[in-house]
Amino acid sequence: MRPTVITVVACLLALGACGNQEDDMNQKKAETAATEARQHIDALAARVGSNPETQQDTLTSCVPGDDSSGKMPSYSVRVTVDGDSVVRLRGEIADDLAAEGWTVKPRPSGSGVGETVAFQKGATTMGASIFVDRGYASVGGSGGCVK
């Protein structure tokens, strides 16, 4: 009887270890996606403005409340802008990113909305919203849902 109990316990421990390895692997994939997204977003922010301040840097569930849905890195910074930032974003910056394979999606602007351009390449999305009258831009995005 004892060998059966030992065998069952050993099997359960082995299964538990596999689950932890899978969780660790998924965490590493999510962290890699977050690092890559941060690099792209920081590069965009540096071109849009100066004096970056991190506003958000999180890994959340892809579906709120459902931890099994995967992890989604979300990152945003605020930068100080000048009067030429909108022209650079909609022109030179958008053109350069399009040449690098990013899909460029200018968004309509309006009162209180800011001048916004969104970019997507693979699972990574990012965008910049410039509020010239307030002197700042919000630049952020995500590395996509990682499972």
Domain locations in the chain? Answer: 2-142
Q: Minimum mean pLDDT among 5-14, 103-112, 137-146: which range?
A: 5-14
Percent of the chain with pLDDT over 90: 67
- Could you give the percent of the chain with pLDDT greater than 70? 83
Average pLDDT (106-118) is 80
If 0-12 CB within 10 Å is exposed, 13-18 middle and 19+ buried, where does residue 29 land? middle
pLDDT beyond 50 at 10: no
22-35 mean pLDDT: 86
pLDDT bin (cut points 50, 70, 90) of residue 18 is: very low
Which residues is 73 bridged to in the sheet? 59
* Level-2 CATH architecture, domain 2-142: 2-Layer Sandwich (3.30)
- Determine the Cα–Cα distance for residues 122 and 37; give it in Å rounded to an integer: 11
Digit-coded pLDDT (tens) for 65-109:
898 899 999 999 999 999 899 999 999 999 999 999 999 999 877
Phi and psi torsions of 78, nearest 5°: -115, 135
If pLDDT is split at 50, 70 and 90, which confidence band does 36 have? very high
DSSP bridge pairs for 13? none
The least confident of 52-61, 76-85, 108-117 is 108-117
**pLDDT band, residue 20 (cuts 50/70/90):** low
Mean pLDDT (whole number) for 42-49: 98
